[in-house]
Chain A
């Protein structure tokens, strides 16, 4: 074990890295859902088989989402730094990284949510329509509650993806385990530091995955 690794642990740098990774991931995910979830609903509702088809709006949203989704995150991250500066006043540090993470993750979340909503059968929606439910009520009382277990599974996948992005953000001034692995491990030739970061990331992903799936199972009333 290298001296640097012991020093990093004793000075609390690694602990801070874990915390930064976790909070960057969760804060970014939270805001990504704030944007992505309504966007996913809008995509589902305005689709040609949706409850309120609006082909032109669907096309615009769909193309916009695809554009953001097709830019590799490393490039999007750098390209969005001016936007991050505009919002947070800085292009460095975790706050700036969170902005770029949200911009990258929100369209991803939108597609995840859209596919979850698609799983809700057309029959249930037709039944709600036959009862005289308005579009808004169908969204709030049928679409979202019926898609809930699937949305939770989707959010687990999204969280893990955002965690991966956050590690990349470490290379251009973000904090967290990604930064530690790159600056102290890769750039100073300390393989053990890289592996410790990898190990810690695996543990975090496992916890998110297990807890998330447990919640999804508990909420889903279809399997019992």
Chain B
């Protein structure tokens, strides 16, 4: 279990002090895939680097399996890091080493005898599907293959946690999907707890169990992913989930309402019933449904009629039928 308590990080730069993180509290449970999402500059990379103490926090504690990292000696910290693998956007492989030797590297650090290390490295290359590439050099591999090697390397030393720092951001959509599948497999088959840092909501929804939305160095929202998509509470979460709705050119005119579906009501013809019952000419502006954690979730953005009486009728219908909704007009107005 990873516990982060009251974590703050301030950088001293030439331009003055810069607070990258303030009062971050979160717990990552063993066996889950935890997402941390935010726009660039939100502090998510700093946060993930605090988890393995590549960045030393200014304040607060990081506790991993009961060990407070700040209280470990330098040597103990190095040993602790062996149980926390990390992969990066830029892969960061050793360019002058073969694939096999790259995967052996953390085992050299752990002082494993060479023959055992090679055996273990081959097991991991089989897991990531690159057994035939063990004698290749990184420059001969594609981006997706490089990230697979990086994953094998990060997991080689009996890793319990895997930190993924924008691990798919440099990859095309197909490769991204296959890497995410691999991470899921690693989580399922090896029981590795995974922390995913990303700016893409797609990544969060395809593999994460829970996610924290980070904005301006603070956690704006932390919830199960299905809940986060069904009813985002913070502005930033709404913005990340519905990035395109914010453009004024896309949605013109009156009030906008956002109806969310959870697994239950997505099977009913909600909109059709709504229109028929209320006799309201509703305009469907945008709609999307996703399969999130086995539950069909989605949303529809509707433009309400200008006639307030009709609009009120729509709202009443939603209330009576316990359909969750929120007004999206504030977001739209902001950009007009």
A: residues with CB less than 8 A from B are 121, 123-124, 126-134, 137, 141-142, 145-146, 148-149, 219-224
Q: A133-B109, A224-B137 are in contact. List 9 more A-B contacts (CB 8 A).
A: A121-B90, A124-B94, A127-B93, A129-B81, A132-B106, A145-B94, A148-B96, A219-B96, A221-B137
Q: A124-B92, A221-B96, A224-B140 are in contact. Are A134 and B52 (CB under 8 A)?
A: no
A-B residue pairs in contact (CB < 8 Å), sample of 15: A121-B90, A123-B88, A126-B88, A129-B54, A130-B54, A130-B84, A130-B86, A130-B163, A131-B105, A131-B109, A131-B157, A132-B80, A132-B106, A133-B78, A141-B105
In contact, A123 and B80 (Cβ under 8 angstroms):
no
Q: Of residues 64 to 90 in B, which have CB atoms within 8 Å of A's CB atoms?
A: 77-82, 84-86, 88, 90
CB distance from A208 to the nearest CB of B (A): 23
In contact, B92 and A127 (Cβ under 8 angstroms):
yes
Number of B interface residues in the complex (CB < 8 A): 34
In contact, A222 and B109 (Cβ under 8 angstroms):
no
Secondary structure of the B contact surface, majority rule:
mixed
In contact, A127 and B95 (Cβ under 8 angstroms):
no
Is B234's CB within 8 Å of the partner chain A?
no
Residues of A within 8 A of B97 (CB): 145, 221
Is B108's CB within 8 Å of the partner chain A?
yes
CB distance from B282 to the nearest CB of A (A): 51
Residues of A within 8 A of B88 (CB): 123, 126-127
Residues of A within 8 A of B108 (CB): 141
Q: A131-B82, A131-B106, A132-B109 are in contact. Are A126 and B92 (CB under 8 A)?
A: yes
- Inter-chain contact count A-B, CB under 8 Å? 79
Q: Which of B79, B82, B90, B95 lies in contact with A222, CB distance below 8 A? A: B95
In contact, A221 and B92 (Cβ under 8 angstroms):
no
Q: Of residues 91 to 112 in B, which have CB atoms within 8 Å of A's CB atoms?
A: 91-97, 105-106, 108-110
Residues of A within 8 A of B10 (CB): none
For B80, B96, B105, B137, the residue with the greatest tally of chain A CB atoms inside 10 Å of its CB is B96
In contact, B139 and A223 (Cβ under 8 angstroms):
yes
Q: Which A residue's beta carbon lies closest to that of B159?
A: A131
B: residues with CB less than 8 A from A are 52, 54, 77-82, 84-86, 88, 90-97, 105-106, 108-110, 137-140, 150, 153-154, 157, 163
In contact, B95 and A221 (Cβ under 8 angstroms):
yes
Q: Which A residue's beta carbon lies closest to that of B84?
A: A130
In contact, A124 and B82 (Cβ under 8 angstroms):
no
Q: Which B residue's beta carbon lies closest to that of A146?
A: B96
A137 to B94 alpha-carbon distance, docked (Å): 14
CB distance from A137 to the nearest CB of B (A): 6
Residues of A within 8 A of B80 (CB): 132
In contact, B54 and A126 (Cβ under 8 angstroms):
yes
A142 to B109 alpha-carbon distance, docked (Å): 12
A141 to B88 alpha-carbon distance, docked (Å): 20
In contact, A137 and B109 (Cβ under 8 angstroms):
yes
CB distance from A54 to the nearest CB of B (A): 15
Q: Which B residue's beta carbon lies closest to that of A120?
A: B95
CB distance from B33 to the nearest CB of A (A): 19
Residues of B within 8 A of A224 (CB): 137, 139-140
In contact, A132 and B81 (Cβ under 8 angstroms):
yes
A146 to B138 alpha-carbon distance, docked (Å): 12
In contact, B85 and A130 (Cβ under 8 angstroms):
yes
A221 to B84 alpha-carbon distance, docked (Å): 29
CB distance from B135 to the nearest CB of A (A): 11
CB distance from A87 to the nearest CB of B (A): 37
CB distance from B171 to the nearest CB of A (A): 16
A194 to B257 alpha-carbon distance, docked (Å): 91
Residues of B within 8 A of A130 (CB): 52, 54, 81, 84-86, 163
Q: Identify the 9 closest CB pairs spanning chains A and B, nearest first.
A: A132-B81, A127-B92, A130-B86, A123-B92, A132-B78, A221-B137, A131-B106, A132-B82, A222-B139
Q: Which B residue's beta carbon lies closest to that of A133?
A: B109
A6 to B191 alpha-carbon distance, docked (Å): 82
Residues of B within 8 A of A121 (CB): 90, 92
Q: Which B residue's beta carbon lies closest to that of A147?
A: B96
Q: Which B residue's beta carbon lies closest to that of A129?
A: B54
For A121, A132, A220, A221, the residue with the greatest tally of chain B CB atoms inside 10 Å of its CB is A132
Residues of B within 8 A of A126 (CB): 54, 88, 92
For A124, A127, A224, the residue with the greatest tally of chain B CB atoms inside 10 Å of its CB is A127
